[in-house]
Amino acid sequence: MNKRPLLLVALLAVCSSIYAQNGASLSISDTSGPLISRHIYGHFSEDLGRCIYDGFWTGDHIRMDVVDALKKIKVPVLRWPGGCYADQYHWRDAIGPRDQRKATVNTTWGMVTEDNSFGTHEFLELCGLLGCEPYIAGNVGTGTPEEMSNWLEYLNYDGKSTLANLRRQNGRDKPWKVSFWGVGNESWGCGGSMTPEFYAMQYRRYAEFCKSYPGAPLKLIASGANSDDYNWTDAVMKNITLWNTWGLSMHYYTLAGDWNHKGSATQFGEDIYFKAMKACLRMEEIVNKHASIMDKYDPAKKVALVVDEWGIWTDPEPGSHPGFLYQQNSLRDALIAGTTLNIFNNHTDRVKMANLAQTVNVLQALVLTEKDKMLLTPTYHVFDLYKVHQDAHSLVLKLNSPDYTFGGEKIPAVNASASRDSVGAVHISLVNIDPSKKATVRIALQGLPSKSVQGQMLTSAKYTDINTFDQPNKVRTAVFSGAKKDGGDLVVEMPAESIVVLELK
Ligand code: AHR
C-alpha cells in the first residue's frame, strides 16, 4: 500500500489544527450601518486627585502640553466636575476673582482643600482649547433644582438677566451653549443613595427646570446604573420623562479582582491578566442587556446609552495618596481600551457617548504628569489609532475568533470593529489579547477597497510594560506591515498581545 496519501492527509490535519488554534476569519458587510458617534471617544475629568489640579491646571493657567497632546487624538467631549464630586459641587464657589473664591473640602476624594481656582470659566476655556464639547454633571445629591437651573442660565442665556450679567462681569460675554447635561451622578450611591423610583421622581423635577435657552438645546442625561444593575435601568426608563431625555448613563469599570482587591497596575501575572480581560469583555453583555431593557420603553432608540465612566480600576500606585486614584497604565490597559472601543463601535445604534475615566493622572489615564514633565500612556495611543472611527459609518462584522485559554477557561482571543469614513476609506481595528500566541486574521476583501492597505500597531514585549518619565516611549505605535493580500483575502499576521488598525483605500 502506498502510504504517501495518508501521510499527506495527516500533515494537512496537523496544519489545519494549528491554523484553527491561531486563525481568525473576518467578513465585513459592505453596507454602512449607523454612524459611530464621535462622542464614544469622550473623556472624563473629575475634581479628583491630580486630574484637574496638577494635571490640566497649574493654579493659574491651563497646561498647554496636555492640551496639545489631547488635541491630537481629537477629544470630542469632556465630562466634569464629577463623578461623585458632582453631587457635592456648588458652581458659585468657583466663579469670579480667583483670590475671592471659596475654599471647600473635597470630602469624596482625599479630604483635601479645594481652592476652586478651576471652575466653570476655566473648564469651558479648557474645552475651547481642546476643541471639544463640554458635558457638565449637575448636582442633585446636595443641590436644588434652583441651583441647577441658575447654573444653566449663567452658562447659556444670551439676553440680559442678573445671572447672565454676572457671567459678563466675570469675563465672558457670549453664552457657552453647553448642551450635554447630567442630572446627578451615580444617584444609587455617592450621588444620594436613592432607589431608582425615587431618583426617577427627582429627575422629573430637576429636568423640568433645566431649560433650553435660545441656540442652546439641552441634551439631558439621566444618572444610570452601576454595571449590571438592570433593575435600575428598567425602573428609571419606566418612570422618567423620556421626551426630554437625551441619554441614560451606565458605569462599568474593569476589575481584575474585586472592589476590595483590585490588584497592582504594574505587577501581575497571567492569572490576573486573564481575569482583567474577561472582565473587560463583559462590557458587551452589560451593554446588550441594558440596551434591550431600553428597547422595551424606547423601541425607536431615541434615548442614548451613555457609558460615561469606564476603564480599568487598579490599586493606586504605592506611595500615592489613596484617595487620589493615581495608577500606572500598561500594555494590558491599552488592550482593554482597544477591546472596549471595539464593543462600543459595534453597538453604536444605542451607545452614543462614552467617557473613559479619567483623562490625566487618575485611573486609566491618557496622560501622566510629574511637575512640568508629561508622558503619554499606552491607552493614549489606542485613542490615537482609533480616532479614524469618529463619525464614520459602522460596518457589520462576522468574526470567528480562536480562543485564548487560561486555567481551564476560555475567552475570544481576537476582537474587531470596522467603519467607513466620509471619503470611503475603511478602517479595521483588531485586538489580539492572547499574550503568547500570534493570530492570523483572514479578512474577506469582497466589497472593500483594497488598492492600498496600510496599518499601525501597538504592542510591546510584555503586557506589564508601561511608559515612565525615564522611558516615556517604551510602549508606542509603529508601522504595521503584516497584512498581505492572498487572492480575495487580506491575511493579517498579528503579534501576541497587539492592537492593529488597518486603513483600506
Ligand atoms: O471615577 C471615579 C469615581 O467612580 C467617580 O467619581 C464615580 O462616579 C465612580 O464611582
Contact 100, 107 (CB under 8 A): no
Pairing type for strands 403-406 and 409-412 reads antiparallel
Given ligand 1 and candidates 84, 306, 360, which is best to mutate, with the most ligand atoms within 8 Å of its CB? 84
Pairing type for strands 77-80 and 42-44 reads parallel
- Checking if the pLDDT of 19 tops 80, the result is no
Contact 356, 44 (CB under 8 A): yes
pTM over 0.85: yes
* Structure confidence at residue 92 as a pLDDT band (50, 70, 90): very high
Q: Which atom of ligand 1 is nearest to the CA of 82?
A: 6
- Checking if the pLDDT of 9 tops 60, the result is no
* Nearest protein CA to atom 9 of ligand 1, as residue: 83
Residues with Cβ within 6 A of ligand 1? 46, 82-84, 185-186, 309, 357-358, 363
Question: ∠ CA(382), CA(65), CA(69), 5° rounding?
Answer: 20
* Structure confidence at residue 383 as a pLDDT band (50, 70, 90): very high
* Structure confidence at residue 311 as a pLDDT band (50, 70, 90): very high
- Checking if the pLDDT of 358 tops 90, the result is yes
Beta bridge partners of 492: 441, 483
**For position 1, what pLDDT does the model report?**
43
CA distance 489 to 486: 5
How many angstroms is it from 223 CA to the middle of ligand 1?
A: 12
User: Cα dihedral angle (186, 188, 191, 193), rounded to 10 degrees?
Assistant: -170
Considering all CA atoms of the chain, what is the largest pairwise distance in Å, rounded to the nearest integer? 101
The per-residue pLDDT of the chain, averaged, comes to 95
CA distance 332 to 262: 15
- Checking if the pLDDT of 310 tops 70, the result is yes
Contact 237, 301 (CB under 8 A): no
**For position 474, what pLDDT does the model report?**
98
* Structure confidence at residue 4 as a pLDDT band (50, 70, 90): low
- Checking if the pLDDT of 12 tops 90, the result is no
* Nearest protein CA to atom 5 of ligand 1, as residue: 83
Domains of the chain with CATH codes: 20-33+395-504 (2.60.40.1180), 37-390 (3.20.20.80)
Output b/e per residue, 360-379; b: 16+ Cβ within 10 A: bbbbbbbbbbeeeebbbbbb
Report residue 66: phi and psi, to 5°.
-70, -45
- Checking if the pLDDT of 62 tops 80, the result is yes
Mean pLDDT value of segment 182-193: 98
CA distance 490 to 505: 13
Helix axes 64-72, 120-130, angle to 10 degrees: 50
Which percentage of the chain shows pLDDT scores above 70?
A: 96
Compute how many other C-beta atoms are within 10 angstroms of the C-beta atom of residue 189. 15
Which percentage of the chain shows pLDDT scores above 90?
A: 94
* Nearest protein CA to atom 8 of ligand 1, as residue: 83
CA distance 461 to 496: 9
**For position 363, what pLDDT does the model report?**
98
Q: Which atom of ligand 1 is nearest to the CA of 85?
A: 6
Given ligand 1 and candidates 193, 309, 360, which is best to mutate, with the most ligand atoms within 8 Å of its CB? 309
How many angstroms is it from 84 CA to the middle of ligand 1?
A: 6
pLDDT in tens, 251-308: 999 999 999 999 999 999 999 999 999 999 999 999 999 999 999 999 999 999 999 9
CA distance 481 to 352: 33
Given ligand 1 and candidates 45, 46, 253, which is best to mutate, with the most ligand atoms within 8 Å of its CB? 46
* Nearest protein CA to atom 2 of ligand 1, as residue: 83
Residue 172 grid coordinates: 465672558
Mean pLDDT value of segment 354-370: 98
**For position 397, what pLDDT does the model report?**
94
CA distance 350 to 300: 10
* Structure confidence at residue 33 as a pLDDT band (50, 70, 90): confident
**For position 13, what pLDDT does the model report?**
42
Which has the minimum average pLDDT: 25-39, 108-122, 128-142, 344-358? 25-39
CA distance 156 to 67: 24
DSSP string covering 212-224: -BTTB--EEEEEE
Which amino acid is residue 86, in one-letter code? A
The reply to whether omega before 327 is within 30° of 0 (cis) is: no
- Checking if the pLDDT of 21 tops 90, the result is no
